Amino acid sequence: MNSTTTAARLMAKLQQQPRDRMSDGRSAWHELQRVAHGSSDLVGKKLPPPVADRIARQLHEILERARPALHAAGVSMTQLARTAFGEYEASSKNIARLCLPPGSDPARRGIRRNALQFRQLISAIATHTGFNEEVIADEALAGTPLHPACAATPEFNELDFLSVALSQIVNQVDCEFDLFSTFQRTAAARLAGLQSGSKLCWPQYDHNAPTSEAEREGYNADWKRATDPTQVWWHDDDQFGLTNEYHWQPWGFGSGVLQDDDFFYVPHALLGDIELWNLPSPDVDRGAYELALSRELATYRALNPNRLWPMDDFDETTRQPFGQTVPRSGSDPVLHGALPYYWWIVIYPHPRGRRLVPALYQPGEEGGAYLLPLDLQALAMLRHAVWISPATEMPVTTRLRQLLSDPDGPLLQAFRRTAPWLVHNPVLRWDEQRRTELDALAAAIGKPAQRR
């Protein structure tokens, strides 16, 4: 490998790091990542035989269900192994040693005990089938000490519990409504549409043509970004997830997503009013933080006694969400001015795009929407953010604990209510219309010409 190639790969890795930083959580996939690469007592060690055998048994069942999708994609077991382990390990035997059929002897089959290889196979299955790798890992690790639900609770703190609960809800709703597949269809339709003359870039702003020569260069840069498959859900942003001396909150303003009701085709749940941006870092100056919080609470109580809450509804006729950021007609403009500043939890593709995560979203104004995966870093930030209602206030993590203490509670119900909206997003509606017209064209071509 020459120095140019090495430098290019290093630069690509450095550019990817801001996205990779947003992956530290307590889901099954993250735990497998942690064991394979990161901070775990099992790193560099073989998994205990009962753990490896159970994962292999469950992975066999997953792979059997995935075979039709792999066959439809023209992917053989050898090709799957090549994706998982590289060219020199491209043998179906390497997959067989990670999957345990019913009644098979693990010792005679030679089941491997390497967490990294299990992770690689799960990732390869997700790549070729379009399955959510988070859901695959959740099923493959079920009932083992690697699964967060079975982990020793003394190791867990409040943020760990919140992370597990949020991840489980996201996976549950994904399985119920096939969300990950719908997001993938949207990405494919958007990229194909742009090449066919569409301007639609949902959930980001549409890619409109330049109106002057001065806009040409910027338009070309925007076009390159709009047609980049890795930036369908998040624009590349070197500051993504970072903090600095000016803002202790992780940076989440660079995603490029919409700031109005049209964003809310994504499954979402209202979190509410949060005080965050006007608070200094409590780790730097706790006294300044407490004084600022007292001032902000007093201002809130004085100015917002009758603050309007989002309507959060869906028009079945136009197939559009409404009432999230724009008020119903006839409401007081003073009261509804707060709508873009409410906070939401959304189910959204991970920055790397191969699984779904809970994410924190605020439409905002001039600085763009704030969108950040609710990983452990974001949850740590929310310990110092304050949820406010007309009657009380509390740390956001306390509010999340209340919402998540009932697994069938308000968050899950909100996600279930709004998840069906996703299939009606503008890109899929455009694609539906295009397919209808193509079918009509094909039918017309097959008919004899009509004499006039």
Q: Does residue 212 register a pLDDT over 80?
A: yes
Task: Identify whether the C-beta of residue 210 lies closer than 8 Å to the C-beta of residue 216.
Answer: yes
The pLDDT confidence band at residue 245, using thresholds 50, 70 and 90, is confident
Per DSSP, 406 falls in state S
Instruction: Give the residue, 398 or 32, on which the prediction is more confident.
Output: 398
User: What percent of the chain shows pLDDT beyond 70?
Assistant: 87
Mean pLDDT, residues 387-403 taken together: 92
330-361 pLDDT per residue, tens: 555 545 567 888 999 999 998 876 789 999 99
Q: pLDDT higher for 35 or 136?
A: 136
Residue 60: the pLDDT is 93
Share of the chain above pLDDT 90, in %: 45
pLDDT band at 376 (very low <50, low <70, confident <90, very high): confident
Where along the chain do its domains lie? Answer: 20-156, 180-429
- Per-residue pLDDT at 246 exceeds 90: no
- 139 or 446, higher pLDDT: 139
Question: Alpha-carbon distance 399 to 397, whole Å?
Answer: 5
Vertex 141 angle, CA 135 and 147, to 5° = 95
Give buried/exposed letters for 392-423 (b at 16+ CB in 10 A, else e). Answer: ebeebbebbeebbeeeeeebbebbbebbebbb
* pLDDT for the residue numbered 31: 81
Is pLDDT larger for residue 387 or for residue 10? 387
The mean pLDDT value for 267-287 works out to 93
Per-residue model confidence (pLDDT) at position 153: 53
Residue 158 Cα distances to 154, 178, 379, 389, angstroms: 11, 30, 10, 22
| pLDDT of 398 higher than 90 | yes
Encode 45-105 in three state secondary structure: CCCCHHHHHHHHHHHHHHHHHHHHHHHHCCCCHHHHHHHHHCHHHCCHHHHHCCCCCCCCC
**Over 90: is that where the pLDDT of 208 sits?**
no
Whether 204 has a pLDDT exceeding 80, the answer reads yes
Backbone angles phi and psi of 187, in degrees to 5: -60, -45
Rounded CA gap, 39 and 384, in Å?
A: 26
Q: How far apart are CA 204 and CA 227, in angstroms?
A: 12
Measured over the CA atoms of residue 220, residue 222, residue 225 and residue 226, the dihedral's sign is: negative
What letter would DSSP give residue 280? -
Q: CA 385 to CA 342: how far, in whole Å?
A: 13
- Does residue 83 contact residue 128 with C-beta atoms inside 8 Å? yes
More confident residue, 318 or 308: 318
Confidence of residue 154 (pLDDT cuts 50, 70, 90): low
> Residue 379 in contact with residue 363, Cβ under 8 Å?
no
Mean pLDDT of all residues belonging to the chain: 85
Mean pLDDT for 391-413 is 92
CA angle at 303 for the pair 300 and 309, rounded to the nearest 5°: 80
pLDDT of residue 17: 43
* Contacting residues for 143 by C-beta, under 8 A, at least 6 apart: 54, 58, 150
Token pair, residue 8, equals 């290019």
- How far is C-alpha 187 from the chain's CA centre? 13
pLDDT digit string (tens) for 72-84?
A: 889 999 999 999 8
More confident site: 121 or 155: 121
Nearest alpha-carbon partner for 247 in 208, 221, 276: 276
Q: Quote the pLDDT of residue 306.
A: 66
Residue bearing the bigger pLDDT, 298 or 332: 298
Q: Taking 90 as the threshold, does the pLDDT of residue 289 lie above it?
A: yes
Q: Is pLDDT at 287 greater than 50 in this prediction?
A: yes
